[in-house]
Amino acid sequence: MRKLKSILGPCLFFSLLPIFASLNSQTEIAESMNWKMPAAGNESPDNLFHGGKIKILFIGTWEGQIESIKLAEKLRALEIATHMTYSNKELGSEKFTGAAIFDPVETKRELSGKLDKNWDLIVVGKIDWAAFPKELQLKILKKVHSGTGLLYIGIHNGDRFIKRIKTEKSIPIEDTIKASIILDKKFKETYSLPETKIVCAKLGKGKICFVDYTGELHNGSIQMLTPTRYIYDTPFIYDCYLDFLNKCAMWVTNRLDVKTEDANAHFNMDEASPADIELQPDKFSFLPKEAITGKLLLKSPKTNISVVLELYDNLNRLIEKKEVHVSGDTLSFKFAPVAPLVPLHYICAQIISNGTVVSEARKPIAVKTEAAADFVLAVWVTHPVNLPVGKNLLKSLKSYGVDVIYSYNMPAKNDIQLSSEGKAIAEANLLSMPYALRIFFSDSPVNMTRKPCLNDPEYRKSIKYIFKRQEKSFWPYFPFYYSLGDENALSAYNNADICCSEFCNKDFIKFLQGKFKTLNDLNTCWHKNYKSWDEVKPILLTDAKKDKYLIPWFYHRMHMDKVYTDIHDFCKGEIRNFDPDAKVGFEGFLCGSTWGGGDYTQLFKQLDFFVPYASVTDNEIMRSFCSPAKSYGTICGAYSATMSNPKRSSYAAWDTLFSGGNLIVWWQASGYFFENGKIIGPGLKPDLTAYSWFNLLCDEVNEIKMGAATVLENSHSVNSGTAILYNRLAYYAATANDRTLHLNSFVKLLKDSSLRADILCFEDILDSSFTPEKYPLLILPGCEYLPKSVAEKISVYMNLGGKIICDIYPSTDMNGNSLDIDKSKMLMFNPENLEKYNGDWGMGEVKNFPWTENGAIIRKNFQKLLASIDKVKAPVELSDTSGNDPFDCNAREWSNGTEKYLAIQRYPYPDSPETKNIKVKLRKPVFVYDIRKRKLLGFRDTINLNIQQGDSFLFALLNRKHLDFNISVTNGTLKISASEKPDEKLFFKIDIFSPDGKKISYYSGNAVITDGVGEYHIKYALNDAPGEWTAKITDIVTGVCKTLKYTR
């Protein structure tokens, strides 16, 4: 670092110091070269890293110097120096004449001095050759001629450059290396990309390697050595290119002998179709219940030939085989409907003559896969997966248990790229989630109009075009989800009271006409005197405040919430036009605020999946509002907090499950960004192995898939007798009065107290099932405004004995009239200081201030208030060794007949003790099983835990020991029967092993048994090995295991 300081200069050095520090602290990020120095007397060219560490001179733009540091770090250079230029085209600038940096004369003199020193390697990063004065050009070439390697990045037409030097005859250059790729085969298959052109040459004793990113539209500002992001968000390729340049650097410095290959060599990965036979399926995409039909065409018809037709899936399983005789030039074929394990299948045809295959054809088709696992892991992939590096990335993600690939930014890619990406994902036996568009706005609006307006017919026309492209590219492979974007919001970060476009104003009038029977009714409510509906316009907050009357503005916000929901519903409708069963949603919630447009009571009815950032409140709202058919979960990622504490990955996975979710979206697969001087982003290293934080998450998700998700998703979460009202009017009022809405605070306080509350909407309050018997306690956060009918129902609820906690008394209905409600029966509690900390991304939980004195007081006071309310009880009592509340632990409960399941979690807070001893007091003595360890802990009413930060436990509380069960197998059907009929469902993990002892993951899975008897069907293929197979059946709850051997 002292060397860097002396070269970069003090000002720039200190400005880059935070970045350098983060680089050095993130030791896993940089894959460094471990030099292998041969012992004395054993020097050999076979030693890959002979020659020792290298000295490097980097010449590039001042903005791109971070990449020089990264490459030097990978090479573990002995010494480096950097020369910063003003731009890609100028070493210096007249703007800086007389200054210490970028003065044209001074920078030329400085570079000349650096070139006088001895260097093993000179790296020029995207600087035009013409930017160097003639004398410096000659100096660089002379250095190469005497043995220095030259790695020149971003020079176009390296061949022409070589010819020009030869023509000038200033120095003889011999282009004896004809190859334009200097990669060995393995490296080429992993990392080479079509956008990269490499030209190599020898110049005297030295070597030159020109690297040209031919697909690059511009040089960029910070990419000195790697391609500028031009179509894809490609941080993974950034890392791959640094590894590739590492190889190039070692080659030009004679440290590594890399074989050359013909530049025209390529791999043809398309299906083969010989000239005399052709397969024509009736279509490419088939549903599971559809027969697979088509035609076989013989281009050279023969009489009575034998044709073998086979149907394989992409696991190389032979599904069906038939042999037919053909007379003529056409044969129609039909395969039975498929129960697919993976989407991609192949129809194969062979012409047999005298026992020999004389011609064959192979054609891919897709069959819709019904479902992934009970718990799904999706990974955001930002770079082109159809390229060799991407295909290897997909294989790696599959090996870690990833189910779904979130394919980023579809609109920025052309049709060929899209189709090939959909194909590549299917070829990896993965499911897809294409990113179609982003409904997001953060600009300053003109005339309070959103651009684009969500009601603008031209905007909706453009959306239709996007989905037409999606239909052609991804739909043939049946995406598992369709994403409508990341961080969708009507308006984000700008508090814009939009939208007042002509289209929204017209729609607003229709909206109001559905709310008010007559214009006179609206005038009465709004305190206006409109003569016609055409006069009505949205009342903005600024005007409502002037009038000291918020009701008209509320209707404007209610309308915009509807507009926001409607555009998502419109998109879903366009997708459902070509995929009737499509699951449509979005991730990264920024829509929950007043300005965001996200009325969850509307939105969660219309869409099919939701993935917010880690938020206990969003989790509970989704659990309460989403039907069982919908999917929801959490976004995780290598954010700085997660990278410093990987236990947050573990916590996030289990917290998602315990919150009722079944989906994790990881941002992102690979590569990384810099944010506030810290590295964020990667799941995989450049060698495609996982970083610790991603590896830990995958381990946890894979364990969840092995049974925990099956158990909890088929059980009922136990409510503590508490409900919280979700009220969009409360959001509006809080915004208008510049106060905090305490919905988050109440949800967090309840969770910290191990109390699970249901979130209710107005419809739920009005439903006959809302009674004090079901919910002894109702909490009203910020509910100053309520519809009159809801307030009346709450009054009835209180008269029947229901308890109310509120932080502000309900006072006004939607017509501006005072509510007739007995405030004396309400308990007032205001957790005002709990919202000052909003958490950070990737934690898996939002911090509840348990370590501050004020937060602890608020929490104790709230728990004291709850203790005064009958029938509101936590499932267990938690205490530390001193008998006090452990603060950072919580419990949640589920029921399955007479069985209970109990989850205990501890928040992964870095400022808390690493390990705690806590006591879990149960309601009564029961048989306690540790579900994760598959272990009986005994008959007891207390569980003692040694719990670390981020730990998650899952227990079964049974009134009896495990039930015995019997198993049998007949023709691929595994039958399980309990020794007696239980009241509850039974859950079993099924592992299937082939005759060679290998576990067959695609035949293994989980089974849910009702009434003590059930079946598990194994979809054997015709080419599965004959012999003795093994089925291992494990009771997921108790861990009791039985094994059965059988022959197929």
Ramachandran area for residue 867 (φ above 0: left; ψ -120 to 50: alpha; else beta): alpha
Residue 18 φ/ψ, nearest 5 degrees: -60, -35
Name the residue among 184, 158, 209 with its Cα closest to residue 260: 184
As a whole number of angstroms, the distance between CA 28 and CA 685 comes to: 8
Residue with structure tokens 């029966």? 825
What is the per-residue pLDDT for 322? 94
As a whole number of angstroms, the distance between CA 102 and CA 88 comes to: 13
Statement: 729-958 belongs to CATH 2.60.40.1180: yes
* Distances from the Cα of 146 to the Cα of 52, 139, 150, 204, 766, angstroms: 18, 11, 11, 7, 88
Tokens, residue 631:
């999917």
> What DSSP line would sit under 566-628, residue for residue?
HHHHHHHHHHHHH-TT--EEEES----STTT---HHHHHHH-SEEEPBS-HHHHHHHHHHS-T
Question: Which stretch of DSSP H or E encloses residue 792?
Answer: helix 788-799
**277 contacts 351 by C-beta, under 8 angstroms:** yes
As a whole number of angstroms, the distance between CA 1048 and CA 1018 comes to: 11
**725 contacts 783 by C-beta, under 8 angstroms:** yes
As a whole number of angstroms, the distance between CA 853 and CA 1021 comes to: 64
Ramachandran area for residue 659 (φ above 0: left; ψ -120 to 50: alpha; else beta): alpha
All residues at 6 or more sequence positions from 709 whose CB lies less than 8 Å from its CB, including other chains = 373, 374, 375, 657, 662
As a whole number of angstroms, the distance between CA 710 and CA 1006 comes to: 7
As a whole number of angstroms, the distance between CA 152 and CA 208 comes to: 8
**228 contacts 216 by C-beta, under 8 angstroms:** yes
Tokens, residue 224:
């000195």
CA 467 to chain centre: 21
- Can you list the alpha helix ranges (DSSP code H) found in 86-157? 104-115, 134-145
**467 contacts 568 by C-beta, under 8 angstroms:** no
Query: What are the b/e assignments for 787-808, b being 16+ CB within 10 Å?
Result: beebbbbbbebbeeebbbbbbb
Tokens, residue 746:
């109440």
Q: pLDDT below 50 — which residues of the chain?
A: 1-50, 98-100, 175-194, 230-235, 258-275, 835-852
Name the residue among 182, 192, 195, 201 with its Cα closest to residue 261: 182
Q: Which amino acid does the sequence have at 859?
A: R
Question: Which stretch of DSSP H or E encloses residue 466?
Answer: helix 457-473
**485 contacts 583 by C-beta, under 8 angstroms:** no
CATH topology of domain 965-1047: Immunoglobulin-like (2.60.40)
As a whole number of angstroms, the distance between CA 129 and CA 758 comes to: 67
Q: How many residues does the chain have?
A: 1048
Name the residue among 543, 462, 555, 547 with its Cα closest to residue 504: 555
Query: Partners of 902 in the beta sheet?
Result: 893, 955
As a whole number of angstroms, the distance between CA 553 and CA 594 comes to: 11
Tokens, residue 221:
């500002």
Residue 709 φ/ψ, nearest 5 degrees: -65, -40
> What DSSP line would sit under 255-286, residue for residue?
S-----B-TT-----SPP--TTEEEEES-SEE
All residues at 6 or more sequence positions from 382 whose CB lies less than 8 Å from its CB, including other chains = 232, 233, 234, 235, 236, 408, 409, 668, 669, 671
* Distances from the Cα of 934 to the Cα of 205, 703, 720, 1039, angstroms: 67, 12, 28, 4
Q: What global pTM score does this model have?
A: 0.79
Tokens, residue 284:
């490419």
CA 326 to chain centre: 51
As a whole number of angstroms, the distance between CA 795 and CA 766 comes to: 12
CA 975 to chain centre: 38
Residue with structure tokens 């055409």? 534
Question: Which stretch of DSSP H or E encloses residue 57?
Answer: strand 55-61
Tens of pLDDT, residues 415-443: 887 888 899 999 999 999 999 899 999 99
Residue with structure tokens 């030209």? 199
CATH topology of domain 277-367: Immunoglobulin-like (2.60.40)
Q: Which amino acid does the sequence have at 566?
A: D
682 preceded by cis ω (within 30°)? no
Name the residue among 701, 745, 754, 1036 with its Cα closest to residue 903: 754
Tokens, residue 967:
């198993």
**189 contacts 388 by C-beta, under 8 angstroms:** yes
What is the per-residue pLDDT for 213? 76
Tens of pLDDT, residues 660-714: 999 999 988 876 555 555 556 678 876 788 888 899 999 999 999 999 999 999 9
As a whole number of angstroms, the distance between CA 393 and CA 389 comes to: 6
Residue 86 φ/ψ, nearest 5 degrees: -70, -40
